[in-house]
Amino acid sequence: MRHLLHHEFSVRIASRHPDGGPIRSGPDNPQLQSVEANIHDERSVANALVGTYGVINAVSLYRERGPETFYSVHVESAQRLAAQARRAGVERFVQVSGIGADAASPSSYIRMRGEGERAVRAEFAEACFARPAVMFGPDDAFLSTILKLLRQLPIYPMFGRGWTRLQPAYVEDVAEAVARIMERAESQPTAFELGGPTVYSYEQLLRAIAHQAGLAPLLIPIPFAVWDALAWASEIIPGLPLTRSQVELMRIDTVSSPRMPGFAELGISPLSIEELLHRMLSNRG
Protein backbone atom coordinates (compact mmCIF):
# COMPACT_ATOMS: atom_id res chain seq x y z
CA MET A 1 0.00 0.00 0.00
CA ARG A 2 2.78 2.42 0.90
CA HIS A 3 4.65 1.78 -2.31
CA LEU A 4 1.54 2.26 -4.45
CA LEU A 5 0.81 5.54 -2.66
CA HIS A 6 4.42 6.63 -3.25
CA HIS A 7 3.85 6.03 -6.97
CA GLU A 8 0.81 8.35 -6.75
CA PHE A 9 -1.82 5.67 -7.11
CA SER A 10 -5.08 6.03 -5.26
CA VAL A 11 -5.46 2.77 -3.36
CA ARG A 12 -8.57 0.84 -2.40
CA ILE A 13 -7.86 -1.91 0.12
CA ALA A 14 -10.43 -4.70 -0.05
CA SER A 15 -10.40 -7.06 2.92
CA ARG A 16 -12.71 -8.95 5.24
CA HIS A 17 -11.70 -6.70 8.15
CA PRO A 18 -11.18 -3.20 6.75
CA ASP A 19 -10.82 -1.60 10.20
CA GLY A 20 -8.13 -4.00 11.38
CA GLY A 21 -5.21 -2.90 9.20
CA PRO A 22 -2.25 -0.65 10.06
CA ILE A 23 -3.14 1.98 7.44
CA ARG A 24 -6.36 3.95 7.68
CA SER A 25 -8.31 5.98 5.19
CA GLY A 26 -9.38 9.48 6.11
CA PRO A 27 -8.13 13.07 5.89
CA ASP A 28 -4.49 12.02 6.48
CA ASN A 29 -4.68 9.58 3.57
CA PRO A 30 -7.04 11.05 0.97
CA GLN A 31 -5.70 8.61 -1.64
CA LEU A 32 -6.51 5.59 0.52
CA GLN A 33 -9.85 3.86 0.92
CA SER A 34 -10.69 0.68 2.85
CA VAL A 35 -13.68 -1.42 1.85
CA GLU A 36 -15.09 -4.67 3.16
CA ALA A 37 -14.95 -7.57 0.71
CA ASN A 38 -14.60 -11.34 0.83
CA ILE A 39 -12.70 -12.88 -2.07
CA HIS A 40 -15.01 -15.93 -1.85
CA ASP A 41 -18.08 -13.76 -2.46
CA GLU A 42 -18.69 -12.71 -6.06
CA ARG A 43 -20.92 -9.74 -5.27
CA SER A 44 -18.55 -8.17 -2.74
CA VAL A 45 -15.64 -8.66 -5.15
CA ALA A 46 -17.59 -6.99 -7.96
CA ASN A 47 -18.50 -4.05 -5.70
CA ALA A 48 -14.87 -3.58 -4.65
CA LEU A 49 -13.75 -3.38 -8.28
CA VAL A 50 -16.10 -0.62 -9.42
CA GLY A 51 -14.14 2.19 -11.07
CA THR A 52 -10.68 0.68 -10.54
CA TYR A 53 -7.77 0.90 -12.99
CA GLY A 54 -5.85 -2.09 -11.69
CA VAL A 55 -6.06 -5.04 -9.30
CA ILE A 56 -3.39 -6.72 -7.20
CA ASN A 57 -4.33 -10.10 -5.75
CA ALA A 58 -2.17 -10.71 -2.68
CA VAL A 59 -4.52 -13.16 -0.95
CA SER A 60 -2.74 -16.33 0.10
CA LEU A 61 -3.05 -19.31 2.43
CA TYR A 62 -0.43 -21.49 4.14
CA ARG A 63 -2.63 -23.61 6.36
CA GLU A 64 -5.94 -25.19 5.29
CA ARG A 65 -8.86 -24.88 7.71
CA GLY A 66 -12.34 -26.14 6.89
CA PRO A 67 -13.64 -24.47 3.72
CA GLU A 68 -10.45 -22.37 3.47
CA THR A 69 -8.43 -24.68 1.22
CA PHE A 70 -5.54 -24.12 -1.16
CA TYR A 71 -7.91 -24.77 -4.05
CA SER A 72 -10.62 -22.40 -2.82
CA VAL A 73 -8.14 -19.55 -2.20
CA HIS A 74 -5.39 -19.96 -4.80
CA VAL A 75 -7.53 -21.23 -7.68
CA GLU A 76 -11.27 -20.57 -7.29
CA SER A 77 -10.96 -17.16 -5.64
CA ALA A 78 -8.15 -15.99 -7.91
CA GLN A 79 -10.22 -17.02 -10.94
CA ARG A 80 -13.30 -15.26 -9.51
CA LEU A 81 -11.34 -12.04 -8.98
CA ALA A 82 -9.78 -12.16 -12.45
CA ALA A 83 -13.17 -12.79 -14.11
CA GLN A 84 -14.81 -9.93 -12.21
CA ALA A 85 -11.89 -7.64 -13.04
CA ARG A 86 -12.27 -8.38 -16.75
CA ARG A 87 -16.03 -7.71 -16.58
CA ALA A 88 -15.39 -4.43 -14.73
CA GLY A 89 -13.06 -3.21 -17.47
CA VAL A 90 -9.95 -3.27 -15.28
CA GLU A 91 -6.80 -2.55 -17.31
CA ARG A 92 -4.11 -4.13 -15.11
CA PHE A 93 -4.17 -7.33 -13.08
CA VAL A 94 -1.20 -8.50 -11.01
CA GLN A 95 -1.30 -11.89 -9.32
CA VAL A 96 1.18 -12.31 -6.47
CA SER A 97 2.27 -15.94 -6.74
CA GLY A 98 5.64 -17.45 -5.89
CA ILE A 99 8.80 -18.87 -7.44
CA GLY A 100 8.31 -22.59 -7.89
CA ALA A 101 4.55 -22.44 -8.53
CA ASP A 102 3.92 -25.57 -10.59
CA ALA A 103 0.59 -27.07 -11.66
CA ALA A 104 2.31 -30.47 -11.98
CA SER A 105 3.81 -30.54 -8.47
CA PRO A 106 2.94 -33.42 -6.13
CA SER A 107 2.66 -30.82 -3.34
CA SER A 108 -0.91 -29.58 -3.00
CA TYR A 109 0.20 -26.07 -1.99
CA ILE A 110 2.68 -25.66 -4.86
CA ARG A 111 0.29 -27.28 -7.36
CA MET A 112 -2.60 -24.98 -6.43
CA ARG A 113 -0.30 -21.96 -6.84
CA GLY A 114 0.45 -23.13 -10.37
CA GLU A 115 -3.19 -23.91 -11.15
CA GLY A 116 -4.12 -20.49 -9.79
CA GLU A 117 -1.84 -18.81 -12.33
CA ARG A 118 -3.48 -20.83 -15.12
CA ALA A 119 -6.95 -19.92 -13.88
CA VAL A 120 -6.11 -16.21 -13.77
CA ARG A 121 -4.59 -16.30 -17.25
CA ALA A 122 -7.69 -18.02 -18.62
CA GLU A 123 -9.92 -15.22 -17.32
CA PHE A 124 -7.61 -12.21 -17.77
CA ALA A 125 -5.24 -12.83 -20.67
CA GLU A 126 -3.13 -9.72 -19.99
CA ALA A 127 -2.47 -10.56 -16.33
CA CYS A 128 1.05 -10.21 -14.94
CA PHE A 129 2.50 -12.44 -12.25
CA ALA A 130 4.85 -11.41 -9.45
CA ARG A 131 6.67 -14.50 -8.20
CA PRO A 132 8.77 -13.63 -5.16
CA ALA A 133 11.23 -15.99 -3.54
CA VAL A 134 10.90 -16.47 0.21
CA MET A 135 10.52 -12.95 1.62
CA PHE A 136 12.24 -11.43 4.63
CA GLY A 137 11.85 -8.24 6.62
CA PRO A 138 11.99 -6.87 10.18
CA ASP A 139 9.69 -8.70 12.59
CA ASP A 140 8.70 -11.25 9.95
CA ALA A 141 7.98 -14.97 10.31
CA PHE A 142 11.12 -16.02 8.40
CA LEU A 143 14.27 -14.05 9.22
CA SER A 144 13.20 -13.00 12.73
CA THR A 145 12.18 -16.56 13.61
CA ILE A 146 15.50 -18.00 12.40
CA LEU A 147 17.44 -15.34 14.30
CA LYS A 148 15.45 -15.96 17.48
CA LEU A 149 15.96 -19.73 17.31
CA LEU A 150 19.67 -19.39 16.53
CA ARG A 151 20.04 -17.34 19.70
CA GLN A 152 18.03 -19.77 21.81
CA LEU A 153 19.24 -23.14 20.52
CA PRO A 154 22.86 -24.29 20.88
CA ILE A 155 22.02 -27.01 18.34
CA TYR A 156 19.97 -25.88 15.34
CA PRO A 157 17.95 -28.45 13.34
CA MET A 158 18.15 -28.06 9.56
CA PHE A 159 15.62 -29.08 6.93
CA GLY A 160 17.18 -32.20 5.45
CA ARG A 161 20.91 -31.83 4.86
CA GLY A 162 20.61 -28.09 4.32
CA TRP A 163 21.16 -28.31 0.57
CA THR A 164 17.93 -26.68 -0.62
CA ARG A 165 18.74 -23.46 -2.50
CA LEU A 166 17.05 -20.20 -1.54
CA GLN A 167 17.22 -16.65 -2.89
CA PRO A 168 15.53 -14.53 -0.18
CA ALA A 169 13.96 -11.25 -1.30
CA TYR A 170 13.38 -8.18 0.87
CA VAL A 171 9.65 -7.58 1.28
CA GLU A 172 10.00 -3.84 0.54
CA ASP A 173 11.74 -4.65 -2.75
CA VAL A 174 8.92 -7.02 -3.70
CA ALA A 175 6.32 -4.36 -2.85
CA GLU A 176 8.20 -1.81 -4.97
CA ALA A 177 8.38 -4.31 -7.83
CA VAL A 178 4.59 -4.82 -7.75
CA ALA A 179 4.04 -1.05 -7.80
CA ARG A 180 6.36 -0.68 -10.79
CA ILE A 181 4.63 -3.51 -12.63
CA MET A 182 1.36 -1.65 -12.13
CA GLU A 183 2.67 1.57 -13.67
CA ARG A 184 4.62 0.06 -16.59
CA ALA A 185 3.67 1.40 -20.00
CA GLU A 186 3.81 -2.12 -21.46
CA SER A 187 0.66 -4.15 -20.97
CA GLN A 188 1.73 -7.50 -22.39
CA PRO A 189 1.33 -10.43 -20.00
CA THR A 190 4.50 -11.62 -18.32
CA ALA A 191 5.85 -13.06 -15.10
CA PHE A 192 8.57 -11.53 -12.94
CA GLU A 193 10.64 -13.83 -10.74
CA LEU A 194 11.78 -11.75 -7.79
CA GLY A 195 14.83 -13.26 -6.10
CA GLY A 196 17.31 -11.41 -3.91
CA PRO A 197 20.97 -10.69 -4.76
CA THR A 198 22.36 -13.95 -3.32
CA VAL A 199 21.58 -17.63 -3.78
CA TYR A 200 22.29 -19.69 -0.65
CA SER A 201 21.98 -23.28 0.34
CA TYR A 202 19.82 -23.45 3.46
CA GLU A 203 22.93 -24.22 5.52
CA GLN A 204 24.79 -21.26 4.01
CA LEU A 205 21.86 -18.99 4.81
CA LEU A 206 21.79 -20.11 8.45
CA ARG A 207 25.53 -19.55 8.76
CA ALA A 208 25.28 -16.09 7.16
CA ILE A 209 22.53 -15.05 9.60
CA ALA A 210 24.44 -16.50 12.56
CA HIS A 211 27.65 -14.73 11.50
CA GLN A 212 25.89 -11.35 11.34
CA ALA A 213 24.54 -11.94 14.85
CA GLY A 214 27.90 -13.10 16.24
CA LEU A 215 26.69 -16.64 16.80
CA ALA A 216 28.28 -20.03 16.08
CA PRO A 217 25.55 -22.67 16.38
CA LEU A 218 25.96 -26.36 15.72
CA LEU A 219 23.81 -27.16 12.67
CA ILE A 220 22.50 -30.71 12.45
CA PRO A 221 20.58 -32.31 9.56
CA ILE A 222 17.06 -33.58 10.31
CA PRO A 223 15.40 -35.88 7.71
CA PHE A 224 12.36 -34.45 5.95
CA ALA A 225 10.30 -37.41 7.22
CA VAL A 226 10.71 -36.00 10.74
CA TRP A 227 9.68 -32.51 9.59
CA ASP A 228 6.66 -34.01 7.84
CA ALA A 229 5.56 -35.65 11.09
CA LEU A 230 6.05 -32.41 13.03
CA ALA A 231 4.06 -30.48 10.43
CA TRP A 232 1.18 -32.95 10.66
CA ALA A 233 1.23 -32.57 14.44
CA SER A 234 1.28 -28.78 14.17
CA GLU A 235 -2.01 -28.86 12.27
CA ILE A 236 -3.59 -30.76 15.17
CA ILE A 237 -1.92 -28.95 18.07
CA PRO A 238 -2.57 -25.18 17.96
CA GLY A 239 0.39 -22.86 18.40
CA LEU A 240 3.15 -24.86 16.68
CA PRO A 241 4.67 -22.52 14.03
CA LEU A 242 5.09 -25.09 11.25
CA THR A 243 2.93 -26.14 8.32
CA ARG A 244 3.15 -28.88 5.73
CA SER A 245 3.31 -26.16 3.07
CA GLN A 246 6.47 -24.75 4.62
CA VAL A 247 8.08 -28.18 4.75
CA GLU A 248 7.11 -28.86 1.13
CA LEU A 249 8.61 -25.54 0.03
CA MET A 250 11.87 -26.41 1.79
CA ARG A 251 12.18 -29.55 -0.34
CA ILE A 252 12.54 -27.58 -3.58
CA ASP A 253 14.92 -24.87 -4.77
CA THR A 254 13.22 -21.48 -4.95
CA VAL A 255 15.62 -19.58 -7.18
CA SER A 256 14.76 -17.17 -9.98
CA SER A 257 15.39 -18.30 -13.54
CA PRO A 258 17.94 -16.28 -15.56
CA ARG A 259 15.52 -16.56 -18.48
CA MET A 260 12.79 -14.67 -16.61
CA PRO A 261 12.57 -10.91 -15.99
CA GLY A 262 13.05 -9.84 -12.40
CA PHE A 263 14.21 -6.96 -10.23
CA ALA A 264 16.79 -5.77 -12.78
CA GLU A 265 14.18 -5.29 -15.52
CA LEU A 266 12.19 -3.13 -13.08
CA GLY A 267 15.21 -1.00 -12.16
CA ILE A 268 15.49 -2.33 -8.59
CA SER A 269 18.75 -3.29 -6.84
CA PRO A 270 17.52 -5.73 -4.17
CA LEU A 271 18.71 -5.48 -0.58
CA SER A 272 20.65 -8.42 0.80
CA ILE A 273 19.71 -10.26 3.95
CA GLU A 274 23.09 -9.30 5.47
CA GLU A 275 22.42 -5.60 4.86
CA LEU A 276 19.04 -5.75 6.57
CA LEU A 277 20.44 -7.76 9.49
CA HIS A 278 23.19 -5.18 9.93
CA ARG A 279 20.58 -2.43 10.12
CA MET A 280 18.37 -4.40 12.50
CA LEU A 281 21.20 -5.38 14.86
CA SER A 282 22.74 -1.88 14.80
CA ASN A 283 19.41 -0.28 15.73
CA ARG A 284 18.89 -2.73 18.59
CA GLY A 285 22.43 -2.34 19.78
pTM of the model: 0.91
pLDDT band at 38, cuts 50/70/90? very high
* Total Cβ atoms within 10 A of residue 8: 8
* Total Cβ atoms within 10 A of residue 249: 21
DSSP assignment of 49-65: HTT-SEEEE----SS-B
Residue 232 identity:
W
| Whether the Cβ atoms of residue 97 and residue 109 lie closer than 8 Å to each other | no
Return the CA Rg of the chain: 20
pLDDT cut 70: percent of the chain above it = 94
135-168+197-255+271-285: CATH class: alpha beta
d(CA 18, CA 13): 8
What number is the average pLDDT over the span 93-111? 93
d(CA 253, CA 67): 30
pLDDT value at 109 more than 80:
yes
Q: From residue 60, give the alpha-carbon distance in Å to each of 26, 73, 94, 274.
A: 27, 7, 14, 27
What number is the average pLDDT over the span 29-54? 93
* Total Cβ atoms within 10 A of residue 128: 23
Annotated domain spans of the chain: 135-168+197-255+271-285
Q: In terms of C-beta density within 10 A (0-12 exposed, 13-18 middle, 19 or more buried), how is residue 63 classed?
A: middle
**What integer pLDDT is reported at residue 66 of this predicted model?**
87
